Amino acid sequence: MEDKEKWKIYRKKWRDKNQERIKAYNKEYNKTRDKEKIKAYQKEYNQKPKTEEQKERYRKYQNEYHKKYQKGRGREKYLLRSLAQRKFRKQIISKRKKCEECGSMENLELHHKNYEENIEENVILLCKVCHKRVHNNI
């Protein structure tokens, strides 16, 4: 157990010290990835039925997230905001229908230009791959 903690601390220090190196590696790695193969894998993965263990792990993750980040906020307020966000997302997807970068129609996500306002002009519809690329400045 003690060795595990030491390795954990060592890895964290190494990552902190080598952030630029890691970023450069990830940038190069993402250039070589086969986009069509990735999309096919994501589609297949998302269609697979989830095991009870996976579902339970996800529920546990959600509960921990709510405990950590929903301090002081009422659960009802959070659920209402979450419902409004899902409705907004569906509305954007039904209007635009495809990624604004590559034209893909799968794994669509909203990218906010800034997070101050949740309005149509403030979001771009991107597939998961393009969204990741935008956040990694590739």
The pLDDT value recorded for residue 75 is 64
Domain tally, the chain: 1
Residues of the chain with pLDDT under 50: none
One-letter amino acid identity for 103?
G
Phi-psi sector, 122: left (phi>0), alpha (psi -120 to 50), beta: alpha
Phi-psi sector, 25: left (phi>0), alpha (psi -120 to 50), beta: alpha
Structure tokens given for 119: 């309005």
The boundaries of the domain holding residue 110 are 98-138
pTM of the full structure: 0.43
The pLDDT value recorded for residue 78 is 67
Asked whether residue 72 is assigned to any structural domain, the reply reads no
Asked whether residue 51 is assigned to any structural domain, the reply reads no
The pLDDT value recorded for residue 76 is 65
Q: Are the C-beta atoms of 22 and 29 separated by less than 8 Å?
A: no
Q: Which helix (H) or strand (E) holds 124?
A: strand 123-127
